[in-house]
Amino acid sequence: MHSGQRRLTGALIAVLPLIAAWTAQAQDYPTHPVRMITDSAAGSSIDVPMRIIADGLSKVWGQQAVVVNQPGAGGAIAARAAASAIPDGYTFGHPNELAYGTNGRGRLTHLVGELLQSRGDIKLLMVPYSGGTAQVLNDMMGKRIALVFDSYSGLAGAIEAGNAVPLAVASDKRLAIFPNLPTVAETLPGYEAGGWQVLVAPLGTPEAIVKKANADLNKALADPDVQQRLAKLGRTDTPMSPEETLAFIHSEQAKWAPILTQIGVAH
């Protein structure tokens, strides 16, 4: 699969690169709606920023960018749908213990908790949920679990309503919107955990649309309205080349491989 070249960074890092079309068609691309398949549930911390980006791309393209939610099977359903799509540039993907809620075993919200246990030499009880962040928050507010690990976009409503109290951010720097909220690294030096999103196209998608779509994504992300809306979610965007994106992904794989082995998740 191809990956693109802009990254959004937040409390949990999000990488949003892009994708692909035939050279002869690149200048006219796209000529009809483009699907963006995600394994997240509607309204989740991943879904919200994706819809903001989709709105921006729709403005740039004059064609609708449609977010298609296909959660389940640990992301396999969405990945399969994206990988099997026609490579034409019109489909993109992929009890004495404190209990913390996650969006599923092996998902980032689980790994962040495992990394905290490993680095902090503490013991937590992981409780997986299939209903997304809303279900996790509901049980936290009902005092059935003690902690939630998620991006700010997924927790903003609960925090603003006073139903959740932020303790720390997993990024390497404090968030501009919460300058007084410490990072985990201030207590556990070297701790950094980030979530990232990558839009990919099926193998065989022509390089011309990879470049065209990347340029269009950059234009969409430069839109003041898009930047303002993403900033409210605690995210900032950083340009990345396809090569830099691939290197970043490899570094993340190397970081999380020991944790995945530790919890017995194949990788």
DSSP character string of the chain: -B--SEEEESSS-EE-------TTTTTT--SS-EEEEESSPTTSTTHHHHHHHHHHHHHHHSS-EEEEE---GGGHHHHHHHHTS-SSSSEE----SEEEEESSTTSHHHHHHHHHHHHHT--EEEEE-SSHHHHHHHHHHTTS-SEE---HHHHHHHHHTTS-----B-SSS--TT-TTSPBGGGTSTT----------B-TT--HHHHHHHHHHHHHHHTSHHHHHHHHTTT-EEEE--HHHHHHHHHHHHHHHHHHHHHTT---
Q: What pLDDT does 7 receive?
A: 41
Q: Which pTM was predicted?
A: 0.54
pLDDT digits over 22-66, tens only? Answer: 444 567 788 888 888 887 788 876 788 788 888 888 888 888 888
Q: What pLDDT does 13 receive?
A: 25
Percentage above 90 pLDDT, the chain? 0
Q: What pLDDT does 97 receive?
A: 58
What is the chain's mean pLDDT, rounded? 74
Q: What pLDDT does 107 receive?
A: 79
Domains and CATH numbers, the chain: 6-94+195-242 (3.40.190.150), 98-186 (3.40.190.10)
Regions of the chain with pLDDT less than 70: 1-26, 45, 72-77, 79-80, 83-84, 93, 95-97, 195, 198, 200, 234, 236, 238-239, 241-243, 265-267
Q: What pLDDT does 265 receive?
A: 60
pLDDT digits over 214-239, tens only? Answer: 788 778 888 888 888 877 776 767 66
